[in-house]
Structure 1
Amino acid sequence: MLDQSVVEEQPSVGQLDRLRAYWVRRDTIVWNIHALPNARYEVHYSLDGSLKLTAQGIQHGQVLPLERHLPGLDADLVAAFPHLQGLPVFRLAAEHHGLVAKILRGQVAVQAYHSDDRSLIDATALQIPGVLDDLYHYTGELGVSFDQEKIPTLRLWAPTARNVELLLYADSAKTTEPQRYPMQFDEGTGVWSVVGKPAWKNQFYRYEIDVFVPSTGQFERNSVTDPYSLSLSTNSQHSQIVDLQSKGLQPKGWSKLAKPSLAKPTDIVLYELHVRDFSITDPSVPAELRGTYKAFTQLESNGMQHLQRLAKAGLSHVHLLPVFDIATVEEHRPDRKRIDFEYLASLPADSSEQQAYLYPIRDRDGFNWGYDPRHYTTPEGSYSTDSNGATRILEFREMVQALNQLGLRVVMDVVYNHTHSSGQASCAVLDRVVPGYYHRLDADGNVCNSTCCANTASEQHMMEKLMLDSLRTWAVEYKVDGFRFDLMGHHLKRNMLAIREMLDGLTLAEHGVDGKAIYLYGEGWNFGEVADGARGENATQHAMAGTGIGTFSDRLRDAARGGGPFVGFQVQGFATGLLDRPNHYEQRALVERTYHVAVISDVVRLSLAGNLADYPILSCEGQQTIGGHLYVNGKPAAYGLRPDDHIAYVSAHDNETLFDGVQVKAPIEAPIADRVRMHNLALSLVALAQGIPFFHAGDELLRSKSMDRNSYNSSDWFNRIDWTGQQNTWGSGLPPSADNHEHWSTVAPLLADPALKPTPEDMAFSYAHFQTMLQIRRSSELFRLSTAELIKQKLWFLNTGPEQVVGLVVMVLDDEVGEACDSPFCRIVVAFNGSHQQLSYSDASFGHYDLQLHPLLRNGYDPVLEQASFDRSHGSISVPGFSCVVWVEQR
């Protein structure tokens, strides 16, 4: 006889707090269950949330039968839900389809039991995004809109809600009770709406939603802000009814704002900048404006003067880290914690005290990168001089206007791939309006968080619509010139193509913007629950090739720096001394290092050629192949199909800055002068690559974060920049322990060494080099070829194959071939030397060239370049160590 305690400990069959079945269409349910021939299947629903699971099965509620559908999913559903292919499929009879909308406004589950004895096999709740898309494919307006009489209408898509009321507040204070207005439900669209009065303008509001929440197993009355909010009160407590067309929200001249010229995407040069970093420590900005949008209107400030010089040199776009409403920064300035900079500066360069001091206040100091979306279509309030209401709208527009007038277009970093919170969390918005719809769920119905936050599901129609509507607002109402998509690979390719199509439809005549000139790019990394097309073809590097939507290429980054973000902390690369300046970590013999430099030199060449998969190359092993067929570290060395697919970069906000990477990879005995040259060589590779170069703000000034690899919440101390170039931030203490402790023993001696801290002269040299590289890129269209055909026609490499002078990459740009470009030069030769020694190379073709050093390199900013030479009589060039040399032949 069984022990009774053992019987009682056996888990019950089925769980209604799990969502292991999928309602994908009004007639179709998919369930990951071992289907038995003698089993019966049912849908159970309750409009009052009273379903209970017992040993005898689901109790209470109503029951509808399901029939097993042996053919499985049809082609349309397989395309929409590839991760469900092969699972058992069940059908709901046609006479019950009219009940589906009502069922979804309550609690719903499925049950399987043995038909002979009605013993329970399994029971579970359902994931419902698919059936919601089937029933409510809405394409109209949401949020606040005004008619010609300035009467506002508020619309909210909430098809599973039992009731929705508008709570209207005269102001953002919570001292008075709101006025309540019932909202009307449209059965055909799932939209709740209310028509207001002109007097509602500028008042604040929330929605009160009565909705069943699977994660709590009951109906909840959620008071929540509008997912389509255009303005908010401080700390996003209330949405605000605003009209973006109001003259009071537009700076003078806004309607006639002229954009800086942009002939083609490959003329773009991107500069990634954080709004707070830009001015928070700039003494030339009034104290009350530091860290705000308004700082960009201070044209005589150190920061704006710096940007102006870069614009004149060739910079075209400022890429702003997230500036939509984020959940992780205190917007009320008096409630922020002040940092004692004097105390931090007094501590030793390798001290752990700086990060220890900052850690307890890091969530209250006003700093965060901002990859924590709360409301996608409202400017972040902490960057405004007044976070309570619509001032942020005006000031954001003033920032865009100021940068445009400086000659710089503006890119927004957008983060539609996740939200800060989900479920019933206080900062959650989408999931408290339509629970279980907007986020990507795993097989149990839990929200996926492979992006480190709650992943959104852009495969669902209304999530894609939210992206499209939000981006349209930023493009039209804020005149944003480009969008960078965080973890773009977590979206589907079709999402990105729909965005491209929407933007292409915007015209100056009708919308006041040229949508075709708005550039799109993002991170095409392939990982998580969407990897390899698991939820549909995702927007990865390879998938986006040929679309003109750019992806960051890790090929040049890793080849130049060495290693990668997650491996090889001290692994060296082409620009960091691998060939003949090995560090103590590098144990390979010279012959092995030489071979590896030859391999990564092929990657460098392909990156310089726009990362084109079909670019022909003679590999270091003597193989005549193309970029997409040359495999390095297990992946193709190139993947693009057109140059504007290619974002060339060696540093970004993520991971160590370029200079910090050089510091840890260079041999300990390398003097600061060599380290600066390594750093500048890496920047040269980006600046002169075909495609679109991308730079991290401050790299031109040897920016350091004191080896912090993840400074997203590391305060202004670790993220500060001195635009005057007088104070380098290397040696600001050991970086925060949470993300960097494993490397403390390696970096501490480096931080403590005063000889490794850049001087103002070092910073000025790097700055001059950077400006010169931008000017050289701008000096000839040969560096900015617009098609793959032109690149293959006009660009080739010398010194390739097994007999090459290893460490020297020689690129030729020849305008004598094919249709002429806009260039004062008929021919350009660029040489990159990854050795610390001077390298020479001879080629018979040089005897036919009449080359001179590029005029911009004759100004003496780098005296080492005096050692560079071109000898036509001997057909040879000579290139100083860790240098980029550009020779040109005038027409």
Structure 2
Amino acid sequence: MQLPSTTHSAVTPAFALGPSSTPDPVAFKVEAGSPHPLGPTIDDLGVNFSIYSEHATSVELLLFRNHDDRQPCQIIQLDPAVNKSFHLWHAYVCGLKPGFFYAYRVDGPQEVHNGHRFQPSKVLIDPYARGISKAVWNRGDACGDKDNLETSLRCAIVHDNYDWEDDKPLNQPTEELVIYEMHVGGFTKSDSSGVAYPGTFRGVIEKIPYLQELGINAVELLPVFEYDDVEVLRTVDGSPKTNYWGYSTMAFFAPHSSYCESPSTGQHVHEFCDMVKALHKAGISVILDVVFNHTDEGNHMGPTYSFKGIDNSTYYHLVPGQEQYYNDFSGCGNTLRCNHPVGEKFIVDCLEYWVETMHVDGFRFDEASVLTRGEGGVPLEKPPLIWNVELSDKLSQTKMIAEAWDAAGLYQVGYFPGERWAEWNGKFRDDVRDFVKGEPGQLGSIAKRLAGSADLYQSRSHEPVNSVNFINCHDGFTMNDLVSYNGKHNGANGEGNRDGVNDNASWNCGWEGATTDAAVEQLRERQIKNFATILMVSQGVPMFVAGDEHRRTQKGNNNAYCQDNELNWVDWNLLDQEQSMFRFWKRVIAFRKQHQSLHRARYFTGDVNQRGIADIAWHGPEINQPGWHDPCGRALALTLGGFDAEDDLHIMLNMHWEELAFELPCVAGRTWRQAINTALPSPEDICEYGKEVSIANEKTFHVSGRSIAVLVSK
């Protein structure tokens, strides 16, 4: 829609070209424009630009014909008397079309001791840009005082008029989700992936049939907002180390250009939307891992290319009395002022854009506890941002998942603000690892995790869906490495093995690292199946990491943030080698979906079914004797009553190293049949639905050491 002409007043464009420039100068007609909405707004007759800066005294808009032009084809000096409304600087450029690129220069007080870092020598990107080009980007030139015009980032003018057909966010019930954490690049970047477009959004599309076969119904994508994957952090044995994970965002509205097949043509939005639409057609929700706790501009020594140069003191937490320095609650050099009105609006606008325009289904918030901090970093009881997101009508059906801690020690698992926010349940991870490793006296803890962590959530009227259960994630060991290494092996990162956590609660099953010992390998396979089974029979929302289903390894590296190579990429050759493990994961995911009692929306109430079986009952090897206070206890059993003609389930977990005999409850009119037994080789370890195996003895069942058995009543 064209902006009302009554709000436009002509300004005189300036344009200058250096000797190395290739574009011809142009002079688009420029009008006053509108202060809202922020960012670029395209209509049939041109583009409106609007940017917020409270303390700026001068703003220039630079236009580039091509993504790699060293010089702009037009420079537009914004007139404060015409192109400024309160703290919003704006202009309407008549005739400008998608395919051009743009950036800003902003001037103002150069008083770092007061928190102002205006540098007119630096070219800045729009925080609301829909696409970014890094074709000529040099990070070092964005530091210091030198002019960086010829090596700066450029914003793409991108049309978001995508043809969604009949697509919309899936709005799947949260309790039915099985989440697959995945790195877009690493999922298909290996030659072994066999895709036509490796390491891209289109590469993910090519692997959708695999995801459908596995049975997951949600992908949680590591950061897909634009980040700097060009800067070399260090070189180790001739191998450059870069930001692979993507947890330092440059542009929050822009899909990562390296995940696009043709970023130079400004197809960022369309390629991302193609992926989302294809996943939705396959019944797979798209959850984005988002990083609003900090930006890629770093600390006082970092580059200036966006917020720093636009209005540093508005967007960042600064050290009181020493405003030249940044409060670093994120552990990454700076911290966004998420609960400042401008920062809050920016984040909500961003989330609503990705839901309304890009059709994503949810978000996982990195170091979300930062988002609860107010002025001075003080945690707020009712942080405005959290509740604005919670109550937004546009986000009402969107999944919100918090990593409920930050690098400054704020830990909010079980009491993160808000009502419908789910949390990465770190207690689940820790307690399950300890139990499966064989730590004694963990029965009470593991029972709480199996039952949906009511101890953490129920008192606040939350439900099992507030708990996202995981045993591992991108940050740490793969599941294979969790059972293969006692300690981290991060030497390849070039930090002297000092990076990464030291306490992994892992156990190598008797040998550190890869081995040809058949007994050790058999135990490791069993332990992985134990982890998978506990994850899928626990109340809450399960999440696991891409490649765990075929034993992907990082060779003991528990902090592979800088490894854009085979160490991190999914090795699809393993799928052929580990077909039995892949089969187990497929079947245990299907088993969860087939039994409503494993993914309840509400906590247990004590209801009893028509066969006299309670919705949940706890046992040990002896019926009704769970041994809660046994300091040596390593065995637990539970019975889940089925309702509405569903099967009853009896789950026996023996993490002792010796076989134990478990008494079985009597079910009137039914018999127990074996569905899962992690001690058995494939395919006996897990049965297809309806093909469960009869058991010889209806009174006791022998569970091998370090294994889990699940029975169903028929």
Give the shorter-chain TM-score range.
Answer: 0.7 to 0.9
* Range 805-814 or range 379-388, more displaced: 805-814
1:296 aligns with 2:204: yes
Residue of 707, 710, 714 corresponding to 1:886: 710
Shift of 1:466: 1.1
Residues 406-441 of structure 1: CA distance to partner in whole angstroms, max 9, x if unpaired? 221111110011101145843541111002221122
CA distance in 2, matches of 1:425, 1:321: 24
After superposition, the Cα gap between the structure-2 partners of 1:362 and 1:458, relative to the gap in structure 1 and judged at 3 Å, is same
Does the CA contact (< 8 Å) of 2:331 and 2:407 recur in 1?
no
Superposed CA deviations along residues 66-90 of structure 1, whole A, max 9, x for unmatched, are xxxxxxxxxxxxxxxxxxxxxxxxx
Q: Of the candidates 816, 830, 843, which is equivalent to residue 651 of structure 2? A: 830
Superposition deviation, residue 286 in structure 1: 4.7
1:394 match? 270
1:255 to 152, 165, 170: 165
Maintained 8 Å contact 2:390/2:419: no
- Pairing 1:228–2:153 present: no
1:794 and 1:814 in contact (8 A); partners too: yes
Letter of the structure 2 residue corresponding to residue 429 of structure 1: S
Q: Does 1:285 align with 2:194?
A: yes
CA–CA separation in structure 2 for the residues paired with 1:496 and 1:255 = 32
Match of 2:358 among 464, 468, 478: 478
Distance 2:668 2:629 in 1: 22
User: Which of the residues 809, 815, 821 maps onto 2:636?
Assistant: 809
**Does residue 241 of structure 1 match 2:160?**
no
Q: RMSD over aligned Cα, in angstroms?
A: 3.2
Tell me, yes or no, if structure 1 residue 461 matches structure 2 residue 361.
Answer: no
Structural mapping, 1:752-763, within 5 Å: 760=577, 763=578
Question: Match for 1:143 among 39, 43, 68?
Answer: 39
Structure 1 position 224, deviation (Å): 0.8
**Which of the pair has more CA radius of gyration?**
1
Contact (CA 8 Å) 1:847, 1:872: kept in 2 or not?
A: no
**Per-residue deviation, 1:297:** 3.0
Q: SS where residue 375 of structure 1 aligns?
A: strand
Aligned 8 A contact 1:549 1:645 in 2: yes
Structure 2 CA distance, aligned partners of 1:227 and 1:357? 37
1:271 aligns with 2:158: no
The match for 1:72 is none
- What do residues 94-146 of structure 1 show as CA deviations (whole Å, max 9, x unaligned)? xxxxxxxxxxxxxxxxxxxxxxxxxxxxxxxxxxxxxxxxxxxx995200113
Separation in structure 1 between the aligned mates of residue 125 and residue 247 of structure 2, nearest angstrom: 19
Please give the secondary structure, in 1, of the residue aligned with 2:510.
Answer: coil
Conservation of the 8 A alpha-carbon contact between 2:584 and 2:686: no
What residue identity is the alignment partner of 2:352?
Answer: R
Q: Which residue of 2 aligns with 1:449?
A: 328
Name the aligned partner's letter for residue 483 of structure 2: V
Structure 1 or 2: more helix by fraction? 1
Alpha carbons of structure 1 residues 857 and 426: separation in structure 2 relative to 1, 3 Å: same
Distance 1:473 1:827, change over 3 A: same
Q: Would the alpha carbon gap of residues 645 and 153 (structure 1) be closer, same or farther in structure 2, given more than 3 Å must change?
A: same
Amino acid at match of 1:433: I
- Pick which of 382-391 and 270-279 moved more: 382-391
Which runs of 5 or more structure 2 residues have no equivalent in the other structure?
1-33, 138-152, 373-382, 486-506, 512-518, 608-613, 621-625
Q: 1:495 aligned to 2:390?
A: no
Aligned twin of 1:544: 416
Higher alpha-carbon deviation: 420-429 or 659-668:
420-429
Q: Which residue of 1 aligns with 2:20?
A: none
Partner of 2:666: 846
In 2, are the aligned partners of 1:869 and 1:879 still within 8 Å (CA)?
Answer: no
1:323 Cα deviation from its structure 2 partner: 0.7
Helix, strand or coil for the counterpart of 2:435?
coil
Whether the 8 Å contact between 2:400 and 2:421 is mirrored in structure 1 is yes
- Cα pair distance change 1:788/1:286, threshold 3 Å: closer
Taking structure 1 as reference, are residues 494 and 259 closer, same or farther at Cα in structure 2, changes over 3 Å only? Answer: closer
Aligned partners of 2:249 and 2:291 also within 8 Å = yes
Q: CA deviation at 1:705?
A: 0.3
Deviations 1:161-213 (A, max 9, x none): 01112112222233444312233547764100001113343321111211123
Tell me how far apart the structure 2 counterparts of residues 541 and 441 of structure 1 sit (CA, whole Å). 27
Closer, same or farther: CA 205–188 of 1 in aligned 2, 3 Å? closer
Contact 1:785 1:791 in 2 (8 A): no
Task: Show the counterpart of 1:203.
Answer: 100
**Which amino acid in 1 is paired with 2:524?**
R
Partners of 1:413 and 1:272 lie apart in 2 by 9
Matched, 1:213 2:110: yes
2:474 and 2:317 mapped to 1: Cα distance? 26
Call closer, same or farther: CA 1:671–1:179 in 2, change over 3 Å: same
Pick from 53, 60, 75: which aligns with 1:165?
A: 60
Aligned match for 1:309, one of 197, 204, 213: 213
C-alpha deviation, 1:717, in angstroms = 2.1
Query: How many Å apart are 1:525 and its aligned residue?
Result: 1.4
Q: After the TM superposition, which residues 711-722 of structure 1 pair with which residues of structure 2 at under 5 Å, given as runs?
A: 711-722=560-571
Task: Summarize the Cα distance change of 1:271–1:139 in structure 2 as closer, same or farther, 3 Å threshold.
Answer: farther
Q: How far apart are the structure 1 equivalents of 2:245 and 2:629?
A: 47
Q: Does the C-alpha gap of structure 1 residues 416 and 785 become closer, same or farther in structure 2, counting only changes over 3 Å?
A: same
Report the Cα distance in structure 2 between the residues aligned to 1:872 and 1:864, rounded to whole angstroms.
19
TM-score for the superposition, normalised by structure 1: 0.63
Q: Give 1:386 deviation, angstroms.
A: 2.0
TM-score calculated relative to the size of structure 2: 0.77
When residues 410 and 660 of structure 1 are mapped into structure 2, their CA distance, relative to the original with a 3 A threshold, is same
Match of 2:548 in 1: 699
- After superposition, residues 320-335 of structure 1 pair within 5 angstroms as 320-329=221-230
Given that 1:641 and 1:788 are in contact with CA atoms closer than 8 Å, whether structure 2 keeps it comes out as: no
How far is 1:706 from its partner?
A: 0.2
> 1:637-680: per-residue Cα shift (whole Å, max 9, x none)?
xx983111101110100011122121121342662101111121
- The amino acid of 1:704's aligned partner reads T
Partner of 1:430: 307
* Shift in CA distance, 189/687, structure 1 to aligned 2, threshold 3 Å: farther
Q: Indicate yes or no: 2:250 matched with 1:374.
A: yes
1:606 aligns with 2:515: no
Q: Structure 2 counterpart of 1:885, which letter?
A: A
Aligned residue for 1:604, secondary structure, equals helix
The one-letter amino acid of 1:159's match is E
Equivalent residue in structure 2 for 1:523, among 403, 418, 423: 403
Q: Deviations over 1:44-84 (max 9, x none)?
A: xxxxxxxxxxxxxxxxxxxxxxxxxxxxxxxxxxxxxxxxx
Change (3 A) 1:497 1:786: same
- Give the distance between the partners of 1:494 and 1:886, measured in 2 at CA: 46
SS of residue in 2 equivalent to 1:159: coil
Any idea what SS the aligned residue of 1:715 has? Answer: coil
- C-alpha distance in 2 between matches for 1:868 and 1:214: 76
Letter in 2 for 1:435: N
Does the Cα contact within 8 Å between 1:182 and 1:194 map onto a contact in 2?
no
| Residue-by-residue CA offset, 1:761-820 (whole Å, 9 max, x unaligned) | xx222212211110110001111111235588723322223576932221221135xxx4
Q: Could you list the per-position Cα deviations for residues 661-700 of structure 1 after superposition, in whole angstroms to 9, with x for gaps in the alignment?
A: 2112134266210111112101211111111001011111
Structure 1 CA distance for aligned equivalents of residues 165 and 693 of structure 2: 51
| Structure-2 change in CA distance of 1:605 and 1:150 (3 Å) | farther
1:871 CA displacement: 7.0
Q: Is the 8 A contact 2:169 2:360 kept in 1?
A: no
Secondary structure class of the residue paired with 2:544:
strand
User: What's the CA shift for 1:460?
Assistant: 0.9
8 Å contact from structure 1 (residues 865, 885) kept in 2 = no
